[in-house]
Amino acid sequence: MCTRIEFFPKTVIARINGVALGGGTEIALCCDIRIAAENAVFGQLEVGLGLIPGYGATQRLVKILGVGKAKELILLGERIDAREAFRISLVSKVVPVADLDATVQAAAEKLCGMGPVALRLAKMAINHRAQADLQTSLALESQCYDHAFHTEDCFEGVKAFLEKRKPQFKGK
């Protein structure tokens, strides 16, 4: 399930409110953008149960935080609050609980104003880099750029920029 979310062609925003321990943190990790309420709590507690994280945290935490911090979170099995999650880049934003829905909605609306083909290709290129070496990933990025450059959305985006107006993307 987490891999399907991570590689879903559309951008996925995690809206995190309250406790996200174990699988909750792992689901958040596979999302593209993670926005947390200030009351959010994260942690990988599985080793304390004689298990290891089972939905990809051993890999995604390394990718997001680096080996040292990933080991600390998983091996010590400690909980961290939203501010610490932000400090270590586990989440991209922390907001008051009362502002969470509006903040996530604003991010979603901003995404809706972007070129859908470009969003899909950018996500694909970013995800590929996390899986492959730099040269292979740069080649894929170049292919994605070339594809995006020849879309109607790109033409519309450049035209709108020059005309100082909001683009009307069609996903083509």
DSSP secondary structure letters along the chain: -HHHHHT-SS--EEEE-SEEETHHHHHHHTSSEEEEETT-EEE--GGGGT---SSSHHHHHHHHH-HHHHHHHHHH--EEEHHHHHHTTSSSEEE-GGGHHHHHHHHHHHHHTS-HHHHHHHHHHHHHHHHS-HHHHHHHHHHHHHHHHTSHHHHHHHHHHHTTS-------
> Is residue 107 a part of any domain in this protein?
yes
Is the domain of 84 the same as that of 130?
no
What is the reported pLDDT for 125?
A: 83
What is the reported pLDDT for 143?
A: 74
Q: pTM of the full predicted structure? A: 0.80
Known active-site residue 38 = no
Known active-site residue 46 = yes
> Is residue 51 a part of any domain in this protein?
yes
Is the domain of 36 the same as that of 101?
yes
Whether 76 has a pLDDT exceeding 60, the answer reads: yes
> Is residue 104 a part of any domain in this protein?
yes
Annotated active-site residue in 6, 26, 109, 163: 26
Is the domain of 64 the same as that of 130?
no
Is the domain of 69 the same as that of 140?
no
Question: Predicted confidence band at 80 (pLDDT cuts at 50, 70, 90)?
Answer: very high
Annotated active-site residue in 6, 38, 46, 141: 46
Average pLDDT, integer, range 60-86: 93
Question: Greater confidence, 164 or 98?
Answer: 98
Residue span of the structural domain in which 19 resides = 2-111
Whether 118 has a pLDDT exceeding 60, the answer reads: yes
What is the reported pLDDT for 126?
A: 81
Is the domain of 94 the same as that of 43?
yes
Average pLDDT, integer, range 96-109: 98
Is the domain of 106 the same as that of 119?
no
Average pLDDT, integer, range 57-61: 86
Is the domain of 50 the same as that of 130?
no
